[in-house]
Amino acid sequence: MTQKTRLVLDYITAHQDDLPTPLYLYSESALNEAVRTYRKLFPDNAKLFYSLKANPQPGIVQHLSSLGLGAEITGQGEWDISLAAGISRLLIGGVSKSEQFLTSLCHKNPAAIVIESETEWHRLKKVAHSAERVPILLRINPGKSFGGLNMAGGTQFGLSPEQALSIAQAAASLAHIEFLGLHFYFGSQRLTVAPIIQAIDVVEEIIKIFHQANWHIKIVDIGLGCGVPYLAKDSALDMSALRQQLWLRWQSEIWSSIEIWAEAGRALVASAGYFVARVTERKRLHGKTFVFLDGGLNVHNPGVGLGRFFRSNPVFLFITTAPNDNLESIDIVGNLCTSADCFGQNVEAPRLEQGDLVVIPNAGAYCQTTALWGFNSQALFEEAMLMGDGTLKILQAQHRL
Ligand SMILES: Cc1ncc(COP(=O)(O)O)c(C=O)c1O
């Protein structure tokens, strides 16, 4: 167990009876550490953007803003949260942007709008004339897929290199639109270095295609899609090996005149989050032991998008009033009327009683936003941050914004 997890567990144990649950508890020092680690992957002049889709909790966004991060947003809600947190460097991602949204962006001075499709491009052309200058990046889908959660070949995202070249050509003749460069995000939840580096190979090939067509690429935005070990069987991505491999790349000539922008969600916030739920009941039925929690898939969805979640257990930590070395095999379930509401099957756990706590680490990204908030109208979650000085800062829960 890491030192930061030890500190968080110590806090939870000391406040076991009065912590409101279900709770997302974020560790300020873990957030700082994740940002430090991520920053080291890139050259010093690279700009980092936090992808709010991972977790738009205003307290987290505020903290990342104080660390100098920009924001990658996909709609008005994320824009508003970023501005309220004091972020002025905003990158506009998201698919199928409407003419209305694009019109509003033209007057808001974004760092860049990422063009995802020819239709978006036509919409932007139509509305950009009223703006002074709209910077754009073109998102490229190379037509092949990489490991992890694929968002490249075979998916709906981005433009083919040919489509992007013809948009860059058209942009050159428009006074109100500035083609800044290219955007690459090929997928998420990568737990090994190889597919990330293969993706960089492809990025470099595409930059060369643009260079050959005499396009100067000022900015390249890359989302590496670094993964998080949600499940008991996952191994963490080796960040120091990744750093070494990436730095070999950054030395090459092709990157010498390019400013890198890096967008990330999970890698920045997942490890800072701990989901804490309270045991409400233990039950024996047909030879099995079920332990019920006061929140289920309505408040916590680990491993978003990884169809495997329902068949694999996340890592569990336990805080019991009467610690006992004897382990038993239990199923950990939530409070919803569906048998899918099962966090863990055949989990080896100490004997858990009503009031004990179950903690799931690495729960700071996507777990809250993609949970089934409406199911059974059960009470939702609270959110708080454990500050570096050991105090607890209560945050306004995002479902109450
Ligand atoms: C375009 C884009 N950028 C960034 C992200 C954030 O990804 P991650 O949380 O894997 O860093 C996503 C996630 O879906 C995305 O689609």
> What's residue 379's pLDDT?
96
Q: How far apart are CA 160 and CA 143, in angstroms?
A: 7
Residue 290 burial (CB count, 10 A):
14
> What's residue 139's pLDDT?
97
DSSP H helices, 85-232, are: 99-106, 118-128, 161-172, 193-212
> What's residue 306's pLDDT?
53
Tell me which residue has its CA closest to atom 13 in ligand 1: 188
Residue 243 to residues 40, 115, 116, 205, 389: CA-CA distances in angstroms? 7, 29, 29, 21, 30
Distance (Å) from CA 55 to ligand 1 centroid: 11
Q: What is the pTM of this model?
A: 0.96
Distance (Å) from CA 325 to ligand 1 centroid: 41
Q: How far apart are CA 397 and CA 401, in angstroms?
A: 7
> What's residue 390's pLDDT?
96
Q: What is the pLDDT of residues 118-175, one digit of tens each?
A: 999 999 999 998 888 999 999 999 998 876 678 888 889 999 999 999 999 999 999 9
State yes or no: pLDDT of 253 exceeds 60: yes
51 lines ligand 1 (CB under 6 A): yes
101 lines ligand 1 (CB under 6 A): no
In this structure, of 19-23, 142-146, 236-240, the range with the lowest mean pLDDT score is 142-146
Q: What is the DSSP string of 313-337?
A: -B--EEE-SS--S-EEEEEEE-SSS
Average pLDDT of the segment spanning 376-393: 97
Residue 187: what residue type? G
Average pLDDT of the segment spanning 364-391: 95
Nearest in space to 371 (alpha carbons), one of 384, 362, 380? 380
Distance (Å) from CA 187 to ligand 1 centroid: 7
Q: What is the pLDDT of residues 305-336, one digit of tens each?
A: 555 455 678 899 999 988 778 899 999 999 99
Phi, psi for 309 (deg, rounded to 5): -50, -45
Nearest in space to 138 (alpha carbons), one of 156, 155, 121? 121
Average pLDDT of the segment spanning 332-346: 94
User: Please, how many CA atoms are within 13 Å of residue 4, restricted to the half-sphere of its CB?
Assistant: 19
User: 135 CB contacts (<8 Å, ≥6 apart)?
Assistant: 110, 111, 112, 113, 178, 180
Q: What percent of the chain has pLDDT over 70?
A: 97
188 lines ligand 1 (CB under 6 A): yes
State yes or no: pLDDT of 103 exceeds 60: yes
- Mean pLDDT score of the chain: 94
Distance (Å) from CA 283 to ligand 1 centroid: 40
In this structure, of 127-131, 273-277, 359-363, the range with the lowest mean pLDDT score is 127-131
265 lines ligand 1 (CB under 6 A): yes
Residue 16: what residue type? Q
- Is the model more confident about 314 or about 398? 398
State the helix-helix crossing angle for 118-128 and 161-172, rounded to 10 degrees.
10
State yes or no: pLDDT of 45 exceeds 60: yes
267 lines ligand 1 (CB under 6 A): yes
> What's residue 328's pLDDT?
96
Nearest in space to 220 (alpha carbons), one of 28, 25, 47? 47
Tell me which residue has its CA closest to atom 16 in ligand 1: 185
* Helix %, strand %, coil % of the chain (to 5): 30, 25, 40
